[in-house]
């Protein structure tokens, strides 16, 4: 199905004077690539990196230069599932992410305050991001007491055997994360003939071929690229999505924000964050502005300021002088100078593409969905889209010689429908959750008598008034400042009746866990691909369930749960390069296929659960079965053993990997979950494709058909094999 390709290499001198190798499109007017990636943000770079790990040549095209693309902080939160994927699929990237993050103590809190300089905030919530999510435990943050910053007594003790993941969450500014991905993707592209990254190269058009089932992509420098597949990772205003006539559904224009990127000199940052004044998110209640400030790192911030068109406009109401005054009010009295790096308007929406695919086309990331930022699901959902799509594209690529043009088009279409059936419901679920999180924030604002409906009502009244627009704008801004004026009493007289009442309201909301959560176990690790595409939004009284505990299970369509394991004594992991670096860390049953892969192809894993009771099926029987299945599906199959009994039931394991639970986990509930199964068939992305409670010699033939059928259906749809 996928096209053949050619590339030319030339040596060029970079601005720094060093030579580098890159594929140059401009030297030939027509190029050909199996996969073209539109967009060089986190999703495009992640797709390029994963395809390179499968030794698949792709060409990434990004309109902006790398310097411009990685300048402005945007997303910043890497949830548990994203960290797992990085750890097991791109360990070099994972290590650099960990090295680049600030200490957890700098970003584990949310503060509610009159300015960022306040040593005594109105309220403060501590989130338990210094540890993995735990089975059976609510993940909501807890309110800290003002007088001594002691907790409210909620039991949040650590228990290693209840960890749901080998990973904790991450906090790293998107532009820093993208730079790490960019460096890695550039390095990997050098080892894959035909792979390249081109920043400063804009796609101007895309046409679907009617004869050879591919796409013809035209770039800003006139080069035409024939692509078997185009992956659209070009953001919320995706040109590729529009060219493919794919519409979006959802809520547009939920809120309008000015995103102001601000930097502090080191000495000023030190003063601001003295006395443990650290938080990931500051909600500032000032008489000049109510704003949310994300601390991406000490000294670098994004201040989000709401505005209300058409009565407020970025160019008229946020000029340099007004913006400086707002930033000063947000930072407070401790700060005397700062740098406003940029200020951009942004429209908050909750939109999902009606289709995730077109002819020879897949949508990923913001091209497929946009969410409110509350909860941090936008970038994470996009990266997980890529993880789902990449191994399916790799399967097609590595078996492309089996398809003629028409068959290849049909198989791609089936794969694309499978991708949509699995990922679009997750986007619907995460969009609904993000909207609920946004509404939680609005409830917090109401604690300060700031009702989001009041500006909307005022807008409606003014639009229907006979006043000229300029008079309407002036009146709106005056009334808005009048509404914010009482907030001045919070700082000027913190012991006043008004201030104490506001503080009490805030504490009541946050005490019952009704503020903005940061961790969502079921949404991060409870992903279920074996369900219908339509997802119904929960009722309001179900909101409290968003942070409820997630208990591990082994079920088709779900992720294999985390169990800390060790390699059995006498069994070498030397032939498994991906897990070498983990031998001094925590080996996990989650994402086993990525960890045990020995070839640059997506790998399935057949995990036999040895409970110590012989069942008549030898390890060699399973290896023979694995070889037969591998021949049928055209991908490697690794046969592994997890011993959950007191001893192994077989002694003929002369090769391969045998795992035991680590000592501290042997009596844990997750071991019992595995012990209920006899065999687990795991997809390359770590989800369960098939499971059974036992194995019988007489059933090996039917088992082979079951494994082949579920492998094909996991990538190409349930009705295809």
Measured CA to CA, the distance from residue 347 to residue 303 in angstroms comes to 15
Bridge partners of 307, per DSSP, are: 256
Q: Which of 155, 119, 128 is nearest to 494 (CA)?
A: 119
> Of 370, 393, 420, which marks where a domain is finished?
420
* CATH code of the domain covering residue 65: 3.50.50.60
In a domain, 618, yes or no: yes
pLDDT at residue number 17: 31
Measured CA to CA, the distance from residue 340 to residue 321 in angstroms comes to 11
Q: Which of 488, 485, 484, 480 is nearest to 308 (CA)?
A: 480
In a domain, 639, yes or no: yes
In a domain, 237, yes or no: yes
- Is the pTM higher than 0.85? The answer reads yes
In a domain, 682, yes or no: yes
Task: State the Cα angle at 550 between 549 and 553, rounded to 5°.
Answer: 150
Q: How many domains does the chain fold into?
A: 2
8 Å CB contact between 517 and 352: no
Reduced to 3 states (helix: H, G, I; strand: E, B; else coil), residue 463 is helix
- Contacts of residue 7, Cβ cutoff 8 Å, sequence gap at least 6: 23, 31, 57, 193, 194, 196
Measured CA to CA, the distance from residue 49 to residue 51 in angstroms comes to 6
In a domain, 546, yes or no: no
In a domain, 662, yes or no: yes
> What digits encode the pLDDT tens for the residues 107-117?
999 999 999 99
8 Å CB contact between 654 and 637: no
* CATH code of the domain covering residue 691: 3.40.30
Provide the residue range defining the domain that includes 48. 9-71+191-247+354-420
In a domain, 516, yes or no: no
Measured CA to CA, the distance from residue 483 to residue 465 in angstroms comes to 21
Residues of the chain with pLDDT under 70: 1-31, 146-161, 210-212, 401-408, 531-544, 570-573, 581, 583, 614-615, 646-656, 663-668, 697-698, 718-721
> Of 420, 447, 470, which marks where a domain is finished?
420
Q: Which of 275, 283, 287 is nearest to 325 (CA)?
A: 287
């Amino acid at each position: 199905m996928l096209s053949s390709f050619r590339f030319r290499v030339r040596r060029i001198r970079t601005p720094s004077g060093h030579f580098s190798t890159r594929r140059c499109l401009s030297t030939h007017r027509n190029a050909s690539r199996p996969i073209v990636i539109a967009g060089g943000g986190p999703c495009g770079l992640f797709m390029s990196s994963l395809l390179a790990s499968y030794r698949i040549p792709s060409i990434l095209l990004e309109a902006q230069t790398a310097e411009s693309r990685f300048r402005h902080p945007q997303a910043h939160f890497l949830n548990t599932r994203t960290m797992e994927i990085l750890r097991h699929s791109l360990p070099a990237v994972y290590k650099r992410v960990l090295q680049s993050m600030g200490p957890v103590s700098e970003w584990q809190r949310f503060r509610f305050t009159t300015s960022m300089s306040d040593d005594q905030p109105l309220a403060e919530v501590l989130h338990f991001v210094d540890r993995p999510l735990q089975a059976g435990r609510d993940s909501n943050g807890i309110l800290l007491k003002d007088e001594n910053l002691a907790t409210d007594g909620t039991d949040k003790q650590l228990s290693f055997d209840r960890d749901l993941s080998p990973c904790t969450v991450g906090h790293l500014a998107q532009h820093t994360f993208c730079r790490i991905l960019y460096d890695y993707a550039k390095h990997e592209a050098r080892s894959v003939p035909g792979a390249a990254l081109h920043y400063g190269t804009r796609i101007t058009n895309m046409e679907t071929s009617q004869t050879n089932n591919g796409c013809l992509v035209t770039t800003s420098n006139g080069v035409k690229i024939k692509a078997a597949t185009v992956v659209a990772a070009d953001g919320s205003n995706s040109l590729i999505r529009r060219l493919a006539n794919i519409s979006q559904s959802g809520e547009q224009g939920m809120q309008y924000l000015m995103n102001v990127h601000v930097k502090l000199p080191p000495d000023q940052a030190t003063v601001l964050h003295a006395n443990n004044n650290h938080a990931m998110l500051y909600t500032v209640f000032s008489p000049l502005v109510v704003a949310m400030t994300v601390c991406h790192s000490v000294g670098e911030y994004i201040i989000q300021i709401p505005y209300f068109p058409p009565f407020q406009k970025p160019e008229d109401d946020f000029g340099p002088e007004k913006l400086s005054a707002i930033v000063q009010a947000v930072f407070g009295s401790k700060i005397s100078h700062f740098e406003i790096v940029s200020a951009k308007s942004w429209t908050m929406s909750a939109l999902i593409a009606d289709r995730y695919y077109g002819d020879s086309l897949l949508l990923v990331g913001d091209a497929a969905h946009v969410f409110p930022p509350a909860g941090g699901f936008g970038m994470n959902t996009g990266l997980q889209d890529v993880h789902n799509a990449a191994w399916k594209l790799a399967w097609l690529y590595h078996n492309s010689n089996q398809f003629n043009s028409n068959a290849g088009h049909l198989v791609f279409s089936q794969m694309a429908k499978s991708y949509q059936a699995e990922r679009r419901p997750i986007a619907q679920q995460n969009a609904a959750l993000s909207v609920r999180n946004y509404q939680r924030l609005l409830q917090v604002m109401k604690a300060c008598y700031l009702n989001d409906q009041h500006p909307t009502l005022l807008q409606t009244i003014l639009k229907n008034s006979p006043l000229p627009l300029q008079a309407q704008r002036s009146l709106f801004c005056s009334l808005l400042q009048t509404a914010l004026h009482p907030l001045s009493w919070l700082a000027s007289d913190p012991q006043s009746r008004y201030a104490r009442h506001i503080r009490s309201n805030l504490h009541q909301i946050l005490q019952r866990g009704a503020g903005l959560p940061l961790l969502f176990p079921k949404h991060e690790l409870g992903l279920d691909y074996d369900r219908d595409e339509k997802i119904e939004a929960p009722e309001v009284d179900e909101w409290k369930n968003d942070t409820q505990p997630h208990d591990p299970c082994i079920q088709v369509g779900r992720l294999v749960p985390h169990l800390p394991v060790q390699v059995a004594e006498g069994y070498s992991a030397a032939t498994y390069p991906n897990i070498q670096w983990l031998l001094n860390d925590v080996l996990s049953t989650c994402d086993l296929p990525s960890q045990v892969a020995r070839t640059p192809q997506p790998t399935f894993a057949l995990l036999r659960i040895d409970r110590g009771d012989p069942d008549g099926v030898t390890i060699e029987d399973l290896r023979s079965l694995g070889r037969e299945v591998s021949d049928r599906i055209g991908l490697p199959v690794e046969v592994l053993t997890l011993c959950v009994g007191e001893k192994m039931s077989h002694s003929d394991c002369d090769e391969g990997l045998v795992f035991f639970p680590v000592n501290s986990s042997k009596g844990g509930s997750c071991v019992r979950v595995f012990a209920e199964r006899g065999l687990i068939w795991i997809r390359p992305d770590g989800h369960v494709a098939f499971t059974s409670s036992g194995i019988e010699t007489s059933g090996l033939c039917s088992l082979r058909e079951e494994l082949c059928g579920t492998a094909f259906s996991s990538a190409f749809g349930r009705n295809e094999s």
